[in-house]
Protein backbone atom coordinates (compact mmCIF):
# COMPACT_ATOMS: atom_id res chain seq x y z
CA UNK A 1 0.00 0.00 0.00
CA UNK A 2 1.42 3.37 -1.01
CA UNK A 3 -1.30 5.62 0.36
CA UNK A 4 1.24 7.24 2.72
CA UNK A 5 3.05 8.68 -0.32
CA UNK A 6 0.21 11.16 -0.67
CA UNK A 7 -0.63 14.16 1.48
CA UNK A 8 -3.53 14.00 3.93
CA UNK A 9 -5.86 16.20 1.79
CA UNK A 10 -5.40 13.82 -1.15
CA UNK A 11 -6.10 10.79 1.03
CA UNK A 12 -9.27 12.39 2.39
CA UNK A 13 -10.62 13.05 -1.11
CA UNK A 14 -9.89 9.47 -2.19
CA UNK A 15 -11.54 8.04 0.94
CA UNK A 16 -14.64 10.22 0.45
CA UNK A 17 -15.08 9.16 -3.18
CA UNK A 18 -14.56 5.48 -2.36
CA UNK A 19 -16.93 5.64 0.62
CA UNK A 20 -19.67 6.97 -1.65
CA UNK A 21 -19.30 4.18 -4.19
CA UNK A 22 -17.07 5.89 -6.75
CA UNK A 23 -13.81 4.73 -8.27
CA UNK A 24 -10.96 7.19 -7.78
CA UNK A 25 -7.37 7.16 -8.97
CA UNK A 26 -4.33 9.35 -8.79
CA UNK A 27 -3.45 9.93 -12.46
CA UNK A 28 -0.82 11.44 -14.75
CA UNK A 29 2.43 12.96 -13.58
CA UNK A 30 2.09 11.91 -9.94
CA UNK A 31 1.96 8.25 -11.00
CA UNK A 32 4.92 8.78 -13.30
CA UNK A 33 6.90 10.22 -10.38
CA UNK A 34 5.85 7.38 -8.10
CA UNK A 35 7.05 4.80 -10.64
CA UNK A 36 10.42 6.59 -10.61
CA UNK A 37 10.57 6.32 -6.80
CA UNK A 38 9.93 10.03 -6.38
CA UNK A 39 7.45 11.42 -3.88
CA UNK A 40 4.55 12.88 -5.91
CA UNK A 41 4.02 16.58 -5.38
CA UNK A 42 1.53 17.83 -7.99
CA UNK A 43 -1.32 15.31 -7.59
CA UNK A 44 -4.40 15.05 -9.84
CA UNK A 45 -7.32 12.75 -9.06
CA UNK A 46 -9.47 11.03 -11.69
CA UNK A 47 -12.91 9.68 -10.75
CA UNK A 48 -15.98 8.17 -12.39
CA UNK A 49 -18.18 10.60 -10.44
CA UNK A 50 -19.70 13.42 -12.48
CA UNK A 51 -18.80 17.04 -11.69
CA UNK A 52 -22.19 17.83 -10.01
CA UNK A 53 -21.75 14.74 -7.81
CA UNK A 54 -18.21 15.81 -6.86
CA UNK A 55 -19.47 19.30 -6.01
CA UNK A 56 -22.21 17.85 -3.81
CA UNK A 57 -19.88 15.43 -2.00
CA UNK A 58 -17.47 18.22 -1.06
CA UNK A 59 -19.99 21.01 -0.46
CA UNK A 60 -18.89 23.28 2.35
CA UNK A 61 -15.20 22.83 1.56
CA UNK A 62 -13.00 25.14 -0.50
CA UNK A 63 -14.42 23.90 -3.80
CA UNK A 64 -14.77 25.48 -7.23
CA UNK A 65 -15.11 24.18 -10.77
CA UNK A 66 -12.92 25.58 -13.55
CA UNK A 67 -12.59 24.95 -17.29
CA UNK A 68 -15.20 24.82 -20.04
CA UNK A 69 -14.29 22.09 -22.52
CA UNK A 70 -12.88 19.94 -19.71
CA UNK A 71 -14.24 21.04 -16.31
CA UNK A 72 -12.17 20.18 -13.26
CA UNK A 73 -13.20 20.52 -9.65
CA UNK A 74 -10.62 22.10 -7.36
CA UNK A 75 -11.03 20.81 -3.81
CA UNK A 76 -8.74 22.57 -1.36
CA UNK A 77 -6.42 23.26 -4.31
CA UNK A 78 -6.36 19.63 -5.54
CA UNK A 79 -7.64 18.88 -9.04
CA UNK A 80 -10.39 16.28 -9.22
CA UNK A 81 -11.48 15.44 -12.77
CA UNK A 82 -14.46 13.49 -14.01
CA UNK A 83 -13.70 10.95 -16.72
CA UNK A 84 -13.77 12.69 -20.11
CA UNK A 85 -14.58 9.52 -22.04
CA UNK A 86 -17.53 8.39 -19.91
CA UNK A 87 -17.50 5.46 -17.50
CA UNK A 88 -17.93 2.52 -19.90
CA UNK A 89 -14.33 1.43 -19.38
CA UNK A 90 -12.91 3.46 -16.55
CA UNK A 91 -10.19 4.67 -16.24
CA UNK A 92 -8.71 3.16 -19.44
CA UNK A 93 -10.83 5.25 -21.82
CA UNK A 94 -9.76 8.48 -20.16
CA UNK A 95 -6.10 7.46 -20.07
CA UNK A 96 -6.29 6.82 -23.81
CA UNK A 97 -6.91 10.54 -24.35
CA UNK A 98 -3.67 11.60 -22.62
CA UNK A 99 -0.50 12.72 -24.37
CA UNK A 100 2.25 10.18 -23.60
CA UNK A 101 2.25 6.64 -22.29
CA UNK A 102 4.30 7.70 -19.26
CA UNK A 103 1.48 10.10 -18.33
CA UNK A 104 -1.32 7.63 -19.15
CA UNK A 105 -1.21 5.62 -15.93
CA UNK A 106 -3.59 5.66 -12.96
CA UNK A 107 -3.05 4.37 -9.44
CA UNK A 108 -5.54 3.57 -6.72
CA UNK A 109 -3.50 3.84 -3.51
CA UNK A 110 -6.37 2.50 -1.37
CA UNK A 111 -6.44 -0.79 -3.27
CA UNK A 112 -2.81 -0.66 -4.47
CA UNK A 113 -3.86 -1.05 -8.11
CA UNK A 114 -1.87 0.37 -11.03
CA UNK A 115 -3.75 0.75 -14.30
CA UNK A 116 -1.26 0.95 -17.17
CA UNK A 117 -3.00 0.08 -20.46
CA UNK A 118 -0.27 1.58 -22.69
CA UNK A 119 2.77 0.18 -20.89
CA UNK A 120 3.93 3.55 -19.64
CA UNK A 121 5.88 2.00 -16.79
CA UNK A 122 7.89 -0.09 -19.27
CA UNK A 123 8.54 3.02 -21.39
CA UNK A 124 9.77 4.79 -18.25
CA UNK A 125 12.17 1.93 -17.54
CA UNK A 126 13.35 1.94 -21.16
CA UNK A 127 13.49 5.77 -21.22
CA UNK A 128 11.25 6.14 -24.26
CA UNK A 129 8.80 8.97 -24.88
CA UNK A 130 5.89 7.53 -26.87
CA UNK A 131 2.58 9.10 -27.76
CA UNK A 132 -0.53 7.38 -26.43
CA UNK A 133 -2.21 5.71 -29.39
CA UNK A 134 -1.92 7.43 -32.78
CA UNK A 135 0.85 10.09 -32.62
CA UNK A 136 -0.71 12.28 -35.31
CA UNK A 137 -4.07 12.27 -33.53
CA UNK A 138 -2.48 13.29 -30.23
CA UNK A 139 -0.56 16.08 -31.97
CA UNK A 140 -3.61 17.45 -33.77
CA UNK A 141 -5.53 17.49 -30.48
CA UNK A 142 -2.86 19.75 -29.00
CA UNK A 143 0.25 20.69 -31.03
CA UNK A 144 2.11 21.84 -27.88
CA UNK A 145 2.54 18.12 -27.18
CA UNK A 146 5.36 18.11 -29.72
CA UNK A 147 7.35 20.53 -27.57
CA UNK A 148 6.33 18.73 -24.36
CA UNK A 149 7.60 15.46 -25.82
CA UNK A 150 11.03 16.98 -26.34
CA UNK A 151 10.96 18.46 -22.85
CA UNK A 152 10.07 15.14 -21.25
CA UNK A 153 12.81 13.41 -23.25
CA UNK A 154 15.35 15.92 -21.94
CA UNK A 155 13.97 15.85 -18.40
CA UNK A 156 14.10 12.05 -18.16
CA UNK A 157 17.26 11.58 -20.23
CA UNK A 158 15.10 9.58 -22.62
CA UNK A 159 14.68 9.32 -26.37
CA UNK A 160 11.68 9.91 -28.57
CA UNK A 161 10.16 6.73 -29.95
CA UNK A 162 10.68 6.56 -33.73
CA UNK A 163 6.92 6.92 -34.25
CA UNK A 164 6.91 10.06 -32.10
CA UNK A 165 9.91 11.63 -33.80
CA UNK A 166 8.55 10.88 -37.27
CA UNK A 167 5.17 12.43 -36.41
CA UNK A 168 6.75 15.54 -34.88
CA UNK A 169 9.04 16.06 -37.87
CA UNK A 170 6.06 15.71 -40.19
CA UNK A 171 3.95 18.32 -38.38
CA UNK A 172 6.50 20.65 -36.76
CA UNK A 173 6.47 23.50 -39.25
CA UNK A 174 2.75 23.36 -40.07
CA UNK A 175 1.33 23.11 -36.55
CA UNK A 176 3.60 25.21 -34.30
CA UNK A 177 1.85 28.30 -35.65
CA UNK A 178 -1.37 27.07 -34.02
CA UNK A 179 0.18 27.14 -30.54
CA UNK A 180 -0.42 30.35 -28.54
CA UNK A 181 2.92 32.02 -27.84
CA UNK A 182 2.41 32.04 -24.09
CA UNK A 183 2.11 28.23 -24.04
CA UNK A 184 5.45 27.86 -25.83
CA UNK A 185 6.94 30.37 -23.42
CA UNK A 186 5.69 28.23 -20.52
CA UNK A 187 7.41 25.14 -21.93
CA UNK A 188 10.68 27.03 -22.42
CA UNK A 189 10.65 28.36 -18.87
CA UNK A 190 9.90 24.89 -17.48
CA UNK A 191 12.82 23.49 -19.48
CA UNK A 192 15.17 25.96 -17.80
CA UNK A 193 14.76 24.06 -14.52
CA UNK A 194 16.36 20.91 -15.96
CA UNK A 195 19.94 19.92 -15.35
CA UNK A 196 20.98 20.32 -19.00
CA UNK A 197 18.36 22.08 -21.12
CA UNK A 198 20.78 21.89 -24.07
CA UNK A 199 19.39 18.37 -24.65
CA UNK A 200 15.96 19.97 -25.05
CA UNK A 201 17.15 22.60 -27.56
CA UNK A 202 19.16 20.04 -29.53
CA UNK A 203 16.08 17.82 -29.80
CA UNK A 204 13.93 20.77 -30.86
CA UNK A 205 16.43 21.36 -33.66
CA UNK A 206 16.56 17.70 -34.71
CA UNK A 207 12.76 17.48 -34.95
CA UNK A 208 12.45 20.75 -36.86
CA UNK A 209 10.61 22.50 -34.03
CA UNK A 210 13.33 25.00 -33.14
CA UNK A 211 13.12 26.80 -36.49
CA UNK A 212 9.50 27.64 -35.63
CA UNK A 213 9.89 28.10 -31.86
CA UNK A 214 13.16 30.09 -31.67
CA UNK A 215 14.41 30.81 -35.20
CA UNK A 216 16.99 33.23 -33.78
CA UNK A 217 18.76 30.29 -32.12
CA UNK A 218 18.07 27.65 -34.77
CA UNK A 219 19.74 29.66 -37.54
CA UNK A 220 23.00 29.53 -35.56
CA UNK A 221 23.24 25.75 -36.02
CA UNK A 222 26.48 24.92 -37.83
CA UNK A 223 27.60 28.58 -37.83
CA UNK A 224 31.40 28.70 -37.47
CA UNK A 225 32.35 30.31 -34.17
CA UNK A 226 35.35 32.04 -35.71
CA UNK A 227 39.06 31.94 -34.91
CA UNK A 228 38.63 32.66 -31.20
CA UNK A 229 36.24 29.78 -30.49
CA UNK A 230 36.62 26.02 -30.62
CA UNK A 231 32.90 25.36 -31.17
CA UNK A 232 30.04 26.50 -33.39
CA UNK A 233 27.86 29.43 -32.34
CA UNK A 234 24.94 27.07 -31.68
CA UNK A 235 27.01 24.77 -29.49
CA UNK A 236 28.50 27.75 -27.67
CA UNK A 237 25.04 29.10 -26.83
CA UNK A 238 23.96 25.71 -25.48
CA UNK A 239 27.09 25.43 -23.33
CA UNK A 240 26.59 28.92 -21.91
CA UNK A 241 22.99 28.23 -20.94
CA UNK A 242 23.88 24.93 -19.30
CA UNK A 243 26.52 26.71 -17.20
CA UNK A 244 23.97 29.14 -15.69
CA UNK A 245 21.86 28.42 -12.58
CA UNK A 246 18.52 26.62 -12.97
CA UNK A 247 17.04 28.80 -10.23
CA UNK A 248 17.19 31.80 -12.59
CA UNK A 249 15.24 30.73 -15.68
CA UNK A 250 15.35 34.07 -17.51
CA UNK A 251 19.09 34.48 -16.94
CA UNK A 252 19.59 30.95 -18.23
CA UNK A 253 17.43 31.57 -21.28
CA UNK A 254 19.43 34.72 -22.00
CA UNK A 255 22.54 32.53 -21.96
CA UNK A 256 21.09 30.29 -24.67
CA UNK A 257 20.21 33.34 -26.76
CA UNK A 258 23.06 35.77 -26.05
CA UNK A 259 25.02 35.22 -29.28
CA UNK A 260 22.13 34.80 -31.73
CA UNK A 261 23.02 38.15 -33.31
CA UNK A 262 26.20 36.61 -34.72
CA UNK A 263 24.24 35.29 -37.70
CA UNK A 264 23.55 38.85 -38.86
CA UNK A 265 26.87 40.33 -37.72
CA UNK A 266 29.07 37.77 -39.45
CA UNK A 267 31.74 39.28 -41.69
CA UNK A 268 35.21 38.61 -43.04
CA UNK A 269 38.17 40.81 -42.12
CA UNK A 270 41.68 40.03 -43.26
CA UNK A 271 40.56 36.54 -44.19
CA UNK A 272 39.05 35.78 -40.76
CA UNK A 273 35.47 35.53 -39.56
CA UNK A 274 34.38 38.42 -37.35
CA UNK A 275 31.18 39.18 -35.44
CA UNK A 276 31.76 42.84 -34.60
CA UNK A 277 28.85 44.41 -32.77
CA UNK A 278 26.84 41.19 -32.72
CA UNK A 279 25.30 42.12 -29.38
CA UNK A 280 23.39 44.89 -31.17
CA UNK A 281 21.93 42.65 -33.91
CA UNK A 282 18.80 41.72 -31.99
CA UNK A 283 15.82 42.14 -34.33
CA UNK A 284 15.27 38.40 -34.81
CA UNK A 285 15.64 37.70 -31.10
CA UNK A 286 13.27 40.52 -30.16
CA UNK A 287 10.71 39.19 -32.64
CA UNK A 288 10.97 35.75 -31.02
CA UNK A 289 10.42 37.14 -27.52
CA UNK A 290 7.44 39.21 -28.72
CA UNK A 291 5.87 36.25 -30.52
CA UNK A 292 6.26 34.06 -27.43
CA UNK A 293 4.55 36.72 -25.32
CA UNK A 294 7.35 37.43 -22.88
CA UNK A 295 6.37 40.39 -20.73
CA UNK A 296 7.87 43.81 -21.26
CA UNK A 297 9.98 43.41 -18.10
CA UNK A 298 11.15 39.91 -19.06
CA UNK A 299 12.10 41.04 -22.54
CA UNK A 300 13.95 44.10 -21.20
CA UNK A 301 15.94 41.90 -18.81
CA UNK A 302 16.97 39.41 -21.50
CA UNK A 303 17.85 42.13 -24.00
CA UNK A 304 19.91 44.02 -21.39
CA UNK A 305 21.94 40.88 -20.69
CA UNK A 306 22.52 40.36 -24.40
CA UNK A 307 23.55 44.00 -24.88
CA UNK A 308 25.90 43.96 -21.88
CA UNK A 309 27.74 40.68 -22.39
CA UNK A 310 30.51 42.24 -24.51
CA UNK A 311 31.10 45.21 -22.18
CA UNK A 312 34.78 45.40 -21.16
CA UNK A 313 35.72 44.05 -17.76
CA UNK A 314 39.22 42.60 -17.80
CA UNK A 315 42.35 42.84 -15.67
CA UNK A 316 43.45 45.89 -17.63
CA UNK A 317 40.05 47.64 -17.60
CA UNK A 318 40.40 51.08 -16.06
CA UNK A 319 38.12 52.84 -13.57
CA UNK A 320 36.42 54.95 -16.26
CA UNK A 321 35.31 51.86 -18.20
CA UNK A 322 34.16 50.18 -14.99
CA UNK A 323 32.04 53.21 -14.11
CA UNK A 324 30.52 53.21 -17.59
CA UNK A 325 29.70 49.53 -17.22
CA UNK A 326 27.99 50.18 -13.91
CA UNK A 327 26.10 53.11 -15.40
CA UNK A 328 24.89 50.88 -18.24
CA UNK A 329 23.75 48.22 -15.78
CA UNK A 330 21.96 50.80 -13.65
CA UNK A 331 20.20 52.30 -16.68
CA UNK A 332 18.95 48.83 -17.63
CA UNK A 333 18.01 47.70 -14.10
CA UNK A 334 20.51 44.87 -14.43
CA UNK A 335 22.18 43.37 -11.38
CA UNK A 336 25.97 43.19 -11.57
CA UNK A 337 25.89 39.62 -10.23
CA UNK A 338 23.75 38.49 -13.18
CA UNK A 339 26.12 40.25 -15.57
CA UNK A 340 29.05 38.39 -13.99
CA UNK A 341 27.25 35.04 -14.01
CA UNK A 342 26.69 35.37 -17.75
CA UNK A 343 30.25 36.56 -18.26
CA UNK A 344 31.70 33.57 -16.37
CA UNK A 345 29.48 31.10 -18.25
CA UNK A 346 30.40 32.73 -21.59
CA UNK A 347 34.10 32.24 -20.87
CA UNK A 348 33.61 28.68 -19.65
CA UNK A 349 31.77 27.78 -22.86
CA UNK A 350 34.62 28.91 -25.12
CA UNK A 351 36.42 25.65 -25.89
CA UNK A 352 39.43 27.48 -27.37
CA UNK A 353 40.21 29.27 -24.11
CA UNK A 354 40.51 28.55 -20.42
CA UNK A 355 37.68 29.51 -18.07
CA UNK A 356 38.12 32.22 -15.46
CA UNK A 357 40.02 31.17 -12.39
CA UNK A 358 38.78 32.19 -8.97
CA UNK A 359 41.53 34.79 -8.94
CA UNK A 360 40.33 36.18 -12.31
CA UNK A 361 36.82 36.55 -10.93
CA UNK A 362 37.99 38.21 -7.71
CA UNK A 363 40.04 40.78 -9.64
CA UNK A 364 37.01 41.76 -11.73
CA UNK A 365 34.65 41.90 -8.78
CA UNK A 366 37.12 44.06 -6.84
CA UNK A 367 37.30 46.56 -9.71
CA UNK A 368 33.55 46.96 -9.47
CA UNK A 369 33.29 47.07 -5.69
CA UNK A 370 36.09 49.66 -5.54
CA UNK A 371 34.13 52.00 -7.80
CA UNK A 372 30.87 51.34 -5.98
CA UNK A 373 32.58 52.17 -2.67
CA UNK A 374 33.50 55.60 -4.02
CA UNK A 375 29.78 56.42 -4.20
CA UNK A 376 30.20 57.51 -7.78
CA UNK A 377 27.14 58.61 -9.75
CA UNK A 378 25.97 55.64 -11.81
CA UNK A 379 22.59 57.11 -12.65
CA UNK A 380 21.27 60.53 -13.70
CA UNK A 381 19.44 60.75 -10.39
CA UNK A 382 22.77 60.40 -8.57
CA UNK A 383 23.90 63.80 -9.84
CA UNK A 384 24.14 66.58 -7.27
CA UNK A 385 21.99 68.75 -9.49
CA UNK A 386 18.37 68.42 -10.58
CA UNK A 387 16.46 69.28 -13.72
CA UNK A 388 14.78 72.07 -11.77
CA UNK A 389 18.21 73.49 -10.93
CA UNK A 390 19.20 73.44 -14.60
CA UNK A 391 16.01 75.27 -15.60
CA UNK A 392 16.56 77.91 -12.91
CA UNK A 393 20.14 78.50 -14.09
CA UNK A 394 19.44 78.52 -17.83
CA UNK A 395 15.89 79.84 -17.97
CA UNK A 396 14.85 76.84 -20.05
CA UNK A 397 11.33 75.46 -19.97
CA UNK A 398 10.77 71.76 -19.18
CA UNK A 399 11.71 69.66 -22.21
CA UNK A 400 14.25 67.38 -23.85
CA UNK A 401 16.96 70.07 -23.87
CA UNK A 402 17.11 69.93 -20.05
CA UNK A 403 17.52 66.15 -20.26
CA UNK A 404 20.35 66.49 -22.77
CA UNK A 405 22.20 68.93 -20.50
CA UNK A 406 21.82 66.55 -17.57
CA UNK A 407 23.09 63.65 -19.70
CA UNK A 408 26.10 65.74 -20.74
CA UNK A 409 26.89 66.45 -17.09
CA UNK A 410 26.51 62.77 -16.28
CA UNK A 411 29.00 61.77 -18.98
CA UNK A 412 31.57 64.17 -17.54
CA UNK A 413 30.99 62.90 -14.00
CA UNK A 414 31.50 59.32 -15.18
CA UNK A 415 34.92 60.36 -16.49
CA UNK A 416 35.76 62.31 -13.33
CA UNK A 417 33.63 61.50 -10.24
CA UNK A 418 35.18 64.46 -8.43
CA UNK A 419 33.04 66.77 -10.57
CA UNK A 420 29.84 65.57 -8.89
CA UNK A 421 29.41 68.48 -6.50
CA UNK A 422 26.52 70.91 -6.58
CA UNK A 423 28.80 73.91 -6.79
CA UNK A 424 30.88 72.44 -9.60
CA UNK A 425 27.87 71.29 -11.63
CA UNK A 426 26.15 74.67 -11.28
CA UNK A 427 29.29 76.33 -12.63
CA UNK A 428 29.42 73.89 -15.51
CA UNK A 429 25.81 74.59 -16.47
CA UNK A 430 26.31 78.34 -16.18
CA UNK A 431 29.31 78.12 -18.53
CA UNK A 432 27.43 76.12 -21.19
CA UNK A 433 26.41 77.61 -24.50
CA UNK A 434 22.77 76.53 -24.59
CA UNK A 435 22.10 78.38 -27.82
pLDDT of 1 reads 47
Question: DSSP class of residue 355?
Answer: P
* Beta strand 272-274 pairing with 106-108: unpaired
Q: Label the pairing between strands 24-27 and 106-108.
A: antiparallel
The Cα–Cα gap between 89 and 115 comes to 12
Tally Cβ neighbours within 10 Å of residue 9: 14
80: nearest Cα among 104, 51, 113 = 51
pLDDT in tens, 200-245: 999 999 999 999 999 999 999 999 999 999 999 999 999 999 999 9
Please state, in angstroms and rounded to a whole number, the distance separating the CA atoms of residues 258 and 237: 7
CB atoms within 10 A of CB 336: 17
> Is the Cβ–Cβ distance between 237 and 345 less than 8 Å?
no
Q: Which residues in the chain come in under a pLDDT of 50?
A: 1
> Which domains does the chain possess?
3-121 (3.30.460.10), 127-213 (1.10.3090.10), 219-374 (1.10.3210), 380-430 (no CATH)
pTM of the model: 0.86
Q: ∠ at Cα 364 (252, 302), nearest 5°?
A: 25
Helix (H) or strand (E) holding 242: helix 233-242
pLDDT at 18: 95
Number of other residues whose CB lies within 10 A of the CB of residue 107? 24
Residue 432 belongs to what H/E stretch?
A: none
356 secondary structure, DSSP code:
P
Amino acid sequence: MKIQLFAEPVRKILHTLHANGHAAFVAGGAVRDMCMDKVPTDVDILTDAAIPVIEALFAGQNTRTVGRSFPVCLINGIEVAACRAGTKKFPEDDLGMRDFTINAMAYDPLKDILVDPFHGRKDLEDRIIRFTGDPAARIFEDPVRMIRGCRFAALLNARLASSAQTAIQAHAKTLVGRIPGERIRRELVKAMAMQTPSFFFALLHTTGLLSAVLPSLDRCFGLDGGPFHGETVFDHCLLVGDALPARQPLLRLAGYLHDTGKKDARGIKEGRITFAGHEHHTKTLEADLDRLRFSTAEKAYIMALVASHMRPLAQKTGPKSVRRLLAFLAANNLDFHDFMRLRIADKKANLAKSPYTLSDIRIRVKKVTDEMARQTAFDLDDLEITGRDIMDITGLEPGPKVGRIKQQLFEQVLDDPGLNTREGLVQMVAAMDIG
